[in-house]
Amino acid sequence: MSSPLESPTTVSPPSGKNTLTVTDNRTGKTYEIAITNETCKALDFRPIKENPSDFGTMIYDPGYYNTAVCKSQITYIDGDQGILEYRGYSIEDLAANSSFVEVAYLLIFGSLPSSNQLNLWNSKIMNHTFIHENLIQLMKSFRYDAHPMGMLISSMSAMSTFYPEANPALKGADIYKNKALMNKQIFRILGKLPTIAACAYRHRIGRPYNNPTNTLSYTENFLYMLDRLSETNYKPHPVLTRALDKLFIIHADHELNCSTATMRQIASTLVDPYSAVAGAASALYGPLHGGANEAVLRMLEQIGSVENIPSFLEAVKQKKQRLMGFGHRVYKSYDPRAKILKEVTQEVFALLGKNPLMEIATELERHALTDRYFIDRQLYPNVDFYSGIIYKTMGFPTDMFPVLFSIPRAAGWLAHWVEELSDADLRIFRPRQIYLGKRGEKYIPLENRVSPQNELSSYASGMSSRRQVSDNDETNAIPKTANGSKSMLSQSIESTFGN
Ligand SMILES: CC(C)(COP(=O)(O)OP(=O)(O)OC[C@H]1O[C@@H](n2cnc3c(N)ncnc32)[C@H](O)[C@@H]1OP(=O)(O)O)[C@@H](O)C(=O)NCCC(=O)NCCS
């Protein structure tokens, strides 16, 4: 097995110059390309051409395995050593000593706040926790069983319509040169996101939405909005508040993960931050990203008991299954966040009792960490391996997991938004493609086209088929397939029952 990050050529002895010499064997020409911060500019490869009329050489990198799209000073990761730092502070120190709100300040403004700055920052966020009554009505119009992540994404997107003064489409592309306006949107997004998340949760379980209480801490208030019934002074348990705070800290940023790259991509158009956060949250919703901890739980439930672990791992090795919560694009050693979470697991278990899935998870981890297949591929537990078990033990339904990820990750998304908009190198994201399709096709008039059977023409739901075989002229006027013929299913129904 060869890693895509392995160098294909041997490295020559250092010449003392920070350049790369490239010889194009098609032409025999040699090019010297600058190396800065271990990086070459992709555009420096463009002049390498066989013929003057050629487009020039591009870099092919599906999934951005080895492509830097920005310079950043927010989060440092050393995937081989298992190091994660926000603005130079280790994740272990921050999880042990900080609150999530303090970490959000650190990520966005670049340094730890003074006591006064923290108080002001906290009160600004907590004073923006109420959501507009129209937004509440919008949330209430969702179906009773709507996935809370769908509600969160739609509500965040809807928020862009509530603040016209914050919309560059209405007020001008450069409005965010005004830092006060930028900060106000940050207060709103960080303040209102837990309220939206709590409303989505209460909607799902059929209970009235709770108003926020800004005398509580950020995570306390969130748990309060989830759980308060009729109590006048409901206060969540401090162990759970602190556990959630730690979970929020370790999830707050992770440099250019898929959702943060999405945030930067969308924000590069200078759209309003609500639309950009809604898009980033959509990226986070996928099972290979924020949905992975939900998938871990389903996997543990499917394994069912410790005896089934060897056969499950065999299926993984035969690529019939994926070991969810293992492997990471960046970490090629133990994810430092998973280590912190293993401790949080014990704190939550001490209060609420041990989750039976933990035994399977621990054994699964032990087996995988001593198995050649996983060792060779540098597959270790990632943050999602334990977060799902903690959330489940804390009583969260699995569909809330990506929501619980989105709330803290919004701090990271916003830190990248702020950094990106002040970056002199900012350009609208516009990758290139390698076009391998047809060229110069001759247009065929509709009546002369013969189309082969495809997915569209063979599809018909049971209801459509029933309607299509009816005698109703209007129903029959609806084209049945792309080429106007009856679908295979309706043809087979007709041949069985007659037209
Ligand atoms: C996170 C993830 C998407 C990273 O993928 P990636 O960087 O593209 O890694 P690759 O798909 O190139 O994997 C390299 C090799 O390891 C294997 N591999 C990677 N993750 C694996 C997993 N979780 N289970 C089994 N095999 C895995 C791949 O099959 C591949 O094997 P091969 O060389 O024999 O083809 C991937 O590890 C994964 O799907 N993990 C499970 C989902 C998860 O936990 N996501 C949360 C991330 S925080």
- pLDDT classification of 490: cutoffs 50, 70, 90: low
pLDDT (tens digit per residue) in 279-326: 999 999 988 888 888 889 999 999 999 999 999 999 999 999 999 999
As a whole number of angstroms, the distance between CA 409 and CA 122 comes to 17
Residue pair 209/203 in contact (Cβ under 8 Å)? The answer is yes
Q: Is 145 a catalytic residue?
A: no
Give me the chain's average pLDDT, please: 91
Is 241 or 471 the better-scoring residue by pLDDT?
Answer: 241
Question: In the prediction, which pLDDT does 458 show?
Answer: 64
Lowest-pLDDT range of 80-84, 163-167, 483-487: 483-487
Ligand 1: lining residues by beta carbon, under 6 Å = 1, 288, 292, 316, 322-329, 377, 379, 382-384
Q: Which pair of tokens denotes residue 340?
A: 């912190």
Express each pLDDT in 332-362 by its tens digit. Answer: 888 999 999 989 999 999 999 988 898 999 9
> Which range scores top for mean pLDDT: 115-129, 386-400, 442-456, 476-490?
115-129
Angle, helices 383-393 vs 401-421, to 10°: value is: 130
Asked if pLDDT for residue 200 goes beyond 90, the answer is yes
pLDDT at 396: 95
Ligand 1: which of 257, 328, 389, 409 to mutate, judged by most atoms within 8 Å of the beta carbon? Answer: 328
Distance CA 151, CA 140 (A): 10
Residue of 132, 289, 367, 423 marked catalytic: 289
If you measure from the C-alpha of residue 206 to the centroid of ligand 1, how many angstroms do you get, rounded to a whole number?
A: 38
Point out the catalytic residue in the list 203, 254, 328, 416: 328
Closest ligand 1 atom to 63 CA: 8
Among 319, 329, 331, name the best residue to mutate to test ligand 1's pocket (greatest count of ligand atoms within 8 A of Cβ). 329
Q: For residue 33, give both structure tokens.
A: 């390309």
Distance (Å, whole) CA 29 – CA 25: 7
| Alpha carbon of 257 to ligand 1 centroid (Å) | 15
Pocket test for ligand 1, best of 3, 5, 313, 326 (most atoms within 8 A of CB): 326
Task: Indicate if the pLDDT at residue 464 is higher than 50.
Answer: yes
251 flagged as catalytic: no
Closest ligand 1 atom to residue 382 Cα is 48
0.75 exceeded by the pTM?
yes
> Alpha carbon of 156 to those of 162, 277, 288, 477: distances in Å?
10, 7, 22, 41
* Ligand 1 centroid from CA 385, angstroms: 14
Residue 80 known to be catalytic: no
* Position with higher pLDDT, 4 vs 290: 290
Sequence-distant (≥ 6) Cβ neighbours of residue 140 within 8 angstroms: 203
Quote the CA–CA distance of 217 and 222 in Å, as a whole number: 8
Cα–Cα distance for residue pair 228/331, rounded to 1 Å: 39
**Packing angle, helices 238-251 and 218-227, rounded to 10:** 120
Secondary-structure percent of the chain, ordered helix, strand, coil, rounded to 5: 50, 5, 45
Q: Which two tokens stand for residue 92?
A: 């272990």
Domains of the chain: 1-68 (no CATH), 75-289+400-421 (1.10.580.10), 292-392 (1.10.230.10), 461-499 (no CATH)
Q: Which residue has a Cα nearest atom 17 of ligand 1? A: 377
248 pLDDT tier (thresholds 50, 70, 90):
very high
* Tokens coding 211: 């108003």
Q: Which residues contact 99 (CB under 8 A, 6 or more apart)?
A: 217, 218, 245, 249
d(CA 237, CA 287): 31
Q: How many CA atoms lie within 13 A of 398 on its CB side?
A: 14
Q: Is the pLDDT of residue 102 over 90?
A: yes
What residue owns the CA closest to ligand 1's atom 3?
Answer: 288
Top pLDDT among 221 and 386 is at 221
Position 366 confidence tier, pLDDT thresholds 50, 70, 90 = very high
Which pLDDT score is estimated for 1? 40
Q: Of 113-117, 216-220, 461-465, which range is least confident?
A: 461-465
Nearest-CA residue for atom 10 of ligand 1: 329
Pairing between β-strand 89-90 and β-strand 83-86 as defined by DSSP bridges: antiparallel
CA of 407 to the centre of ligand 1 (A): 26
Whether residue 247 has pLDDT greater than 70:
yes
Give CA separation, 160 vs 165, 235, 461, in Å: 10, 32, 37
